Chains A and B, each alone.
Chain A
C-alpha cells in the first residue's frame, strides 16, 4: 500500500486492524499523540485529505492513496503555519501534549467556524490551559512580550521550548524509537481482594514474540511506597512490586514483555491465574468497623501502619484552645457532613517509562515524572543497587497535577530490562489511568462551626475520614493537610480536628493538585456560608470578620509551633475584587424564564507553600565562555511553566535577557538534587535556590569585574547583559576571558523548604440553575489570587485558568463510579467527563499587589491552590440560587435533581 504522510511517500503494510495513529508513529512521526486511544480526546488528530479525523479510530488501511498531514507536516519550507505561529504568540499550551491535535483542528477551521469555537472544538480536550489561551490563539491574540535584559521578572515571556511543541517535534516520554525495544504489558486483578494461589505462564510464553513473564515470585520481596517524598517515612511501606495478594480491581498481577505490544497484550490474556477470593470492603467507615476485611494485617511495624487491624494507616487528632467552651459561647452552631468522590488527574500524557541498560552497569530510565531524583533513590532501594547506577530523566512531560509524584511504571520497566538485557517500554492506557494509577482521596468530612451574633467564630471542629484505597501512598500527608490550611484560613481561638486515613479495596488514592486541602475547603467554606445564613450575615462580611489577617499566626489544630508564616498579605484585596466583580454586572445575564434561578457564591483560602515535611533543592549556575549563562536545577517541568519562571528570576538578578540563560531538561545525571515539583515547591523552594545561585554568581561576577578593571566593586554593576566598571563597559565574554579564577564563575546554592509562606485567594461565581433539568450555567467566574510578585503574568493566568477549569470539571461532572465488585465502570473519557472548551467560561482574574518577604523576588506559588475554592464557591452559589445546600460532589443533574424538584 502507498501512503503519503506530510508530503513524503511510503510503501508500507499496516498490521491487520492497525489504526492510523500507531501506523504513523511506527513510521517515525511522533507528533501524533495518544491521549485516550478511543476517539474522545483529539490529541491524535491528523488531516486526511485536509479534514481532521481521530487517527486512533481511523483504520490505517483506509489511508491508502490519501494525503495524511500531521502537525509535523504543517509548516511549509521551515515557515510555521499561521495557526502554529498563533499558538506560539498566545502560548496556547502548557504541557503541550494536546497541542498536536488542537492545532490540527484549529488550523482546519474556516473564519465562520472560528465564531463558534465551543461547537467546533468539541473533539479536542486540554487539561492544562482552561482553553482561554487557545481561544486567544485562534483569534490571533498575542500575549508574549519581548525579552529585554533586566526586565525578565514580571514579563510575559514565552516558553523557550514553545517551537518544538507547536511543530510536533517535542519529544514526550514515548517519542523515541530504540533498536530492539521490548514492550511491557500488565495483567491486572479482576478481583478487589484475592490471594493468588497459582499462575500458569506456559500459554503466555508460547505466544510468538513473548520474551518473559514476571510474577510476584520474580521480584525483590521488598516493601516500598509508590509515593515520592524526600522523607519516605511519611508514607507506609505497604506495597510490593508484584504481590501475591490483590487488594483492588486493577492491581498488577503479572507483567509480560514481548517484541510487540500486541504480543505482550496477548500474553497477558493467556496467563492463567487461580485466586482464592477474600472479602472486600469499599467504604472507609465500614473498613474501620470490627469484623471488616483486613487489608494489611501483619505489616504494622515494617510498614509503619498504625492500626492494621482496623485498616487505619494513620489517625491524627489535635486541639488548640478549648473547642467545647467555644461552642458553649456560640449563639449559632452549624454542623454538616460533606462528601467528595474519587476523581482522576486526567493529564493528557498517560504514565509511561522506557528503561535500558548500558555496559557500564547503569540503568537509564526515561520517564514521565514530577520527581526524577526520588525515583532514582527508590529504584536503588528496590533493586538493592547504588543510586548512581540509575540515570532518571525526562524530556517533555505531558501534565502531572500530582499524578506523577508517584512511581507507577519505572520499577517494572527496570526489572524487565535487568532480566532481559533489552530496552523495555511501558505506556499506560487511558483505562489504566483510571483503574491503576492514583486518584484524589475521597473524603467524608463533618464540620462544626460556632459563632457569636456578630459572626465571630468561637470554635471550629472537623472530622475527616479519608479513603486511601488499597495502599497508603500520600495518605499521611494528605490527612494532615486536610486538617490544616482550610482551618488556618480563619482566626479562631479553638480548633479541633480528627482525621483517619483508611484502607479500602479500591484503587489507591494519591497526590492531586490541592493535596488534601481541596476536600476540607469544600466542607469549611460551605459551612461558613451556612453559619452566616443562620446569623443573617452576608457571606462576604462573615469572611471579613473571621479571615486570617496579616499579623496572625498561621495555625490550625496543632498546639505546637510551626514554620508557616505570612510573607505578604493580600487576602483582603482578593476578596474585595471578587465582591466588586460579582456586583459589577459584567458576565452573562440569566436566561429568561422562572425555571432559572440565579445565585452568587464565594469561597476563600489561605494555602501554605511547600509541605511541612522535608523538601530540598539545589541550583547550579555558570557563566559560559560565550558570555551566556547555564542554569541547572532538578525541579521537573510538566507544563507548569516552572523552568521559564526560574530562568526569569535568574535573568532579573543578573540583569540579563532570559534568552541568555540555557537550561537542560530534567536529568539526574545533569542536574543537582531536587525533591521534586509538587506542593507548590517549584517556586517556593527550587526557584528560591535559583535566586540564591544567581545572587551568588552576580556577587562573584562583580568581584571579578572589580579585580579585572581595578574599579572598586561598589562602582561595578551588571546591566543590559554587560558589566559596568565605573565608566567602562565589559562584555560578559570579556569578563570570562579575563577572569583569573574560572571557579568563581560557577556557583551552587541549596535551599530547604522552610519557612513556608502563605498564598491567598478568593473565588466567586454567579450562576443560573435550571430547576427542572439541574443544568448549571456559569454566568460569571472570578478569582483573586495573592501570589506575591507575579513572575510571568501570562503563565500565571494560564495556571489559574487551568486550575479553575479542572475545578469546574470536578465540581460539575467528574466522579469515578464503582460497581458492587469494586470495578471502575467509567474508565474512559466518554464516561468520565472532563471539561471541553464549551464547558469552561472565561474567568476574570486579579492578582493582588504584594511582595512576599521569603519567596524568590517576592513571589509565592500559584499552580496548586486556584482549584481549591472552586467547588465551595459553586456550592454556595447554588445554595444562594435555590436555597438548597448540596453536600456532595459533583453537582451533576442526576445527583441534584431530586432536591431541585421540590422547588416550585
Chain B
C-alpha cells in the first residue's frame, strides 16, 4: 500500500477542513473494512486518511418519541452495524433495518463497519478491485464486466456504462423506510432523501453516491409510521459471509389487512438501489397473499436486462420480493423457506 498521513479530528468541521475538493487524495475512514482493503490493493491511494472515530456522539442511536406519530429514529453515521443489528427497539419497529445490518459480513465486520461506511463503500466489481484493470471508474475507456465475467453484476443495466451493483445493503432498506440523511460540507449542512443519495458512477471523478468529496454523512433519520410493516430479504450464494446476490426491501402500512403506501426497493441488482414502482402497484391496496407477492415479484423483475452470465439473478429478484413481502406481512411467522 502507498503510505499516507493519518488524521483523527475531534469535530466534523475539522474533518471537512482536511478533505480535498476532488476525489482521490483524501479518504474518510469509518470502520476501515473497505478502505483498508482498497489501500492494500492500491485501488485507493490517498495521501491523507481522516478517521471519524474521534468525533463525539458520531455513533449515537437516538429514538425520539413523537406524540401520536410513533417515533423518529436518528442514527449517527458512525454507529456500528452490530449496534444497529442488536438494537432492541429498532428490531421491533424496523426489522428490515436490523435484519439487513445483521446479515452484513460476519460478527467481526459488524463490530467494525459503520452505517456511513455501508452507505458510502466502494462497489465490489472484481475488475474495479483489480489494480491492473483500467476500467471506467479508474479513468479508463471501458467497462470490462459488460462483455466479461459478469455473474454478480447488474441486471438492470439500462443506460449504464458501468454495470456494478450498489454494494450497500442498508441503502435499499432506508429508501423503503423513507429515511433522510444529513450531510455536511464546507458550506454547511443539507438534508437528503436516501432515495436521492445513491448515484451510478461512470468515471473516476464519481462515486456510488452523490456526496461531494468534502462532504461527510452525519446521520440518518427514519420516521416511524404507524402500523408500518417492513422486511428485507437477501438471496445469497452460500448461507454465510457473502454480499447478497439479490436483496429486496419492502415497507408498507398494514391497513385493516390491506397494504398501503407500499415501497419495494431492490439491492445488488443495479448500480444504485432500485425502487420498483410497478411491483409496489401490484400490492397497493391489497392483502399480501402468496399470489399477490408472487405477482409483485414478477413485476419487479420485468424490466431487467441481464448480461451474458447473470440471467439467474432475474429469477432471484422474483423470489426475493415475494419472500420480503410475505415476511413483512406476517411478522414473527416462521416461513417455509427458513432453515
Chain A residues within CB distance 8 Å of chain B: 15-17, 19, 37-40, 42, 45, 48, 51-54, 56-59, 61-62, 105, 108, 118-124, 190, 262, 591-593, 770, 772-775, 777, 812-813, 817-820, 823, 825-826, 828, 830-831, 833, 835-839, 892-894, 897-898, 901
Contact = CB atoms under 8 A, between A and B. Distances in A.
Nearest to B147: A820
B316 A53 contact: no
Contact of B111 (A53, A812, A828, A838): A53
Interface of B: 1-6, 8, 29, 32-33, 36-37, 39-40, 49, 51, 53, 82, 102, 105-109, 111-112, 124, 126-127, 129-130, 132, 144, 148-149, 151-152, 235, 237-243, 245, 309-313, 315-316, 318-319, 336-337, 339
29 contacts: A15-B3, A38-B40, A39-B105, A39-B108, A42-B106, A48-B111, A51-B82, A56-B36, A57-B36, A62-B32, A118-B339, A121-B106, A123-B107, A123-B108, A123-B109, A123-B241, A190-B132, A262-B1, A591-B336, A592-B336, A773-B315, A777-B339, A818-B149, A819-B144, A819-B148, A836-B241, A893-B245, A894-B313, A898-B312
B237 A53 contact: no
A16 B237 contact: no
B130 A894 contact: no
A58 B32 CA distance: 6
- Select the residue from B1, B33, B240, B337 with max chain A CB neighbours within 10 A: B240
Contacts of B242: 830, 833
Given A57-B36, A823-B130, A105 B238 contact: no
A898 B240 CA distance: 24
B108 to A, nearest CB: 4
A299 to B, nearest CB: 29
- 5 closest A-B pairs by beta carbon, nearest first, are A123-B106, A836-B240, A838-B239, A897-B312, A122-B106
Contact of A39 (B6, B29, B33, B311): B33
A59 B108 contact: no
Given A122-B240, A813-B238, A893-B312, A831 B107 contact: no
A660 to B, nearest CB: 42
Contact of A825 (B149, B240, B313): B149
Contact of B53 (A62, A591, A836): A62
B5 A16 contact: yes
Contact of A17 (B1, B312, B336, B339): B1
B51 A59 contact: yes
B128 to A, nearest CB: 11
B315 A901 contact: yes
A294 B315 CA distance: 43
Contacts of A124: 106
Given A17-B6, A39-B105, A59-B36, A591 B311 contact: no
A15 B130 CA distance: 24
Contacts of B37: 38-39, 57
A53 B106 CA distance: 9
Nearest to B239: A838
A105 B127 CA distance: 32
B130 A839 contact: no
B101 to A, nearest CB: 13
Contacts of B33: 39, 54, 57
Contact of A813 (B40, B102, B237): B237
Contacts of B106: 42, 121-124
Contacts of A56: 36
A818 B6 CA distance: 37
Nearest to A831: B126
Contacts of A58: 32, 36, 112
Given A122-B240, A897-B312, A772 B126 contact: no
Contacts of A105: 107-108
A899 B285 CA distance: 36
Contacts of A817: 149, 151
Nearest to A771: B315
Interface residues of chain B: helix, strand, loop or mixed (majority)? loop
Contacts, number: 160
A53 B130 CA distance: 25
Contacts of A53: 108, 111-112
Contacts of B313: 894
Contacts of B310: 894
B251 to A, nearest CB: 23
A593 B149 contact: no
Contacts of B3: 15-17, 262
B112 A820 contact: no
A823 B144 CA distance: 12
Nearest to A122: B106
Contacts of B339: 118, 777
Given A17-B49, A894-B310, 12 more contacts: A38-B37, A58-B32, A59-B29, A123-B241, A774-B312, A817-B149, A825-B127, A830-B243, A836-B238, A836-B240, A897-B315, A898-B311
A523 B53 CA distance: 55
Contacts of A51: 82, 111
Contacts of A108: 107
A591 B1 CA distance: 48
B312 to A, nearest CB: 4
Nearest to B235: A773
Contact of B109 (A39, A190, A813): A39
B317 to A, nearest CB: 10
Contacts of A262: 1, 3
B238 A835 contact: yes
A16 B6 contact: yes
B240 A837 contact: yes
Contact of B124 (A118, A777, A830, A836): A830
A772 B2 CA distance: 46
A592 B326 CA distance: 15
Contact of A59 (B5, B6, B245, B309): B6
Nearest to A588: B339
B149 A819 contact: yes
B241 A122 contact: yes
B124 to A, nearest CB: 7
Contacts of B315: 772-774, 897, 901
A52 B336 contact: no
A123 to B, nearest CB: 2
A58 B124 CA distance: 19
A203 to B, nearest CB: 15
A122 B107 contact: yes
B222 to A, nearest CB: 24
A45 B105 CA distance: 14
B189 to A, nearest CB: 27
A58 B37 CA distance: 10
Contacts of B107: 52, 105, 108, 120, 122-123
Given A16-B6, A123-B108, A839-B240, A591 B337 contact: yes
Contact of B4 (A17, A120, A823): A17
A770 B315 CA distance: 11
A893 B316 contact: yes
Contact of B311 (A120, A121, A839, A897): A897
A582 to B, nearest CB: 20
A38 B34 CA distance: 9
A839 B51 contact: no
A859 B1 CA distance: 51
Contacts of B318: 772
A45 B110 CA distance: 13
Nearest to A118: B239
A40 B37 CA distance: 11
Contacts of B152: 831
Nearest to A37: B40
Contacts of B105: 39, 122-123
A262 B4 CA distance: 13
Given A39-B109, A122-B107, A122-B241, A826 B126 contact: yes
B84 to A, nearest CB: 15
A19 B49 CA distance: 13
A833 B239 CA distance: 11
Contacts of A38: 37, 40
